């Protein structure tokens, strides 16, 4: 695979399980994605998970319903870095907009692979969660928190779907939340980090990293787009969930030109 990032970043990814590359997308590209998000959050249907007040919390399958989001999934920077870290071609297993509304639901501690393995039948943790910041993410507006090195723990068995979770009937239905006892053990062993950065920054995270986020009690926006990709030889097998939650198309992503987003800009 083509070398896109330097060895120190690759080494950091291997050690911690995640890296943040600040300002990877330009302000012009971010503007295109903000416009796309404004459209996607108006969509109604089963792929939209809502807060108690009816506002959209998570919209799944964004790359299936908007040309600009589809272009993002084929952006050469994202695809190039993911393929370099994984060493193979990739496909999109799941995509989503997380609006993180003020006062909205928390996201309890979990591993993305915990669901993909148990529910979707994805056999191996050969995948990456790509998080694209559309706003400045600071210590104040409910940043992602992650346990560095937790990807080396394998699938955490002390986890289950929580019937009492605040967002049980919405985003958490298939999420395997990790017990607080296990969280204490993991944090004592590995520590805990917040993940921050300006708009246009992108996080590349191993699908086994334990992560979560708390409620956003500020009026500050914190919209993050997610593309969870797997290697093309690491496919879901159960087809238990609809396509907007778990892929049916396992063809390798073909990168678009570097202006794939700006070429779709509107006035």
Give the per-residue pLDDT at 175: 85
pLDDT of residue 168: 46
| pLDDT confidence of residue 3 | 85
d(CA 70, CA 62): 8
Whole-model pTM: value is 0.95
Buried b (16+ CB within 10 A) or exposed e, 25-40: beeebbbbbeebbeeb
Give the per-residue pLDDT at 174: 83
Ranges of residues in the chain whose predicted pLDDT is under 50: 168
Q: CA-CA distances (angstroms) from residue 189 to 48, 153, 183, 192? A: 37, 11, 10, 10
Predicted pLDDT of residue 159: 82
Strands 127-133 and 18-21, by their bridges, are: unpaired
Residue-level pLDDT at 163: 61
pLDDT of residue 119: 95
CA 233, CA 88: separation in Å to the nearest integer? 9
Structural domains of the chain in order of their starting residue, each with its CATH number: 7-246 (2.60.120.620)
**What is the pLDDT at residue 172?**
61
> Rounded distance, CA 265 to CA 32, Å?
6
The conformation of residue 216, written as its DSSP 8-state character, comes to B
3-state SS, 92-143, equals EEEEEEECCCECCCCEEEECHHHHHHHCCCCCCCCEEEEEEECCCECCCCCC
- What is the reported pLDDT for 1? 67
15 beta partners = none
Do 59 and 41 touch, CB atoms closer than 8 A?
A: yes
């Amino acid at each position: 695979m083509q070398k896109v990032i330097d060895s120190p970043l690759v080494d950091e990814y291997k050690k911690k399980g995640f890296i943040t590359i600040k300002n990877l997308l330009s302000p012009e590209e971010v503007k295109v994605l903000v416009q796309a998000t404004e459209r996607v959050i108006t969509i109604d249907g089963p792929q939209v998970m809502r807060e108690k007040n009816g506002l959209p919390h998570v919209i799944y399958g964004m790359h299936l319903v908007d040309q600009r989001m589809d272009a993002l999934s084929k952006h050469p920077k994202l695809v190039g870095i993911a393929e370099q870290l994984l060493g193979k071609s990739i496909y999109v297993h799941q995509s989503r907009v997380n609006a993180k509304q003020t006062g909205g639901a928390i996201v309890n501690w979990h591993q993305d692979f915990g669901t993909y393995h148990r529910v979707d039948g994805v056999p191996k943790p050969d995948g990456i969660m790509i998080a694209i910041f559309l706003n400045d993410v600071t210590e104040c507006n409910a940043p992602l928190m992650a346990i560095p090195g937790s990807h080396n723990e394998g699938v955490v068995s002390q986890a289950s779907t929580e019937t009492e979770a605040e967002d049980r009937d919405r985003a958490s239905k298939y999420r395997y939340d990790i017990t607080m006892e296990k969280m204490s053990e993991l944090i004592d062993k590995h520590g805990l980090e917040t993940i921050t950065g300006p708009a246009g920054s992108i996080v590349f995270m191993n699908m086994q990293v334990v992560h979560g986020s708390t409620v956003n009690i500020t009026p500050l926006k914190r919209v993050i787009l997610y593309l969870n990709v797997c290697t093309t030889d690491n496919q879901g097998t159960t087809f238990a969930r609809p396509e907007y939650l778990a892929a049916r198309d396992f063809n390798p992503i073909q990168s678009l030109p570097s202006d794939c987003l700006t070429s779709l800009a509107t006035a």
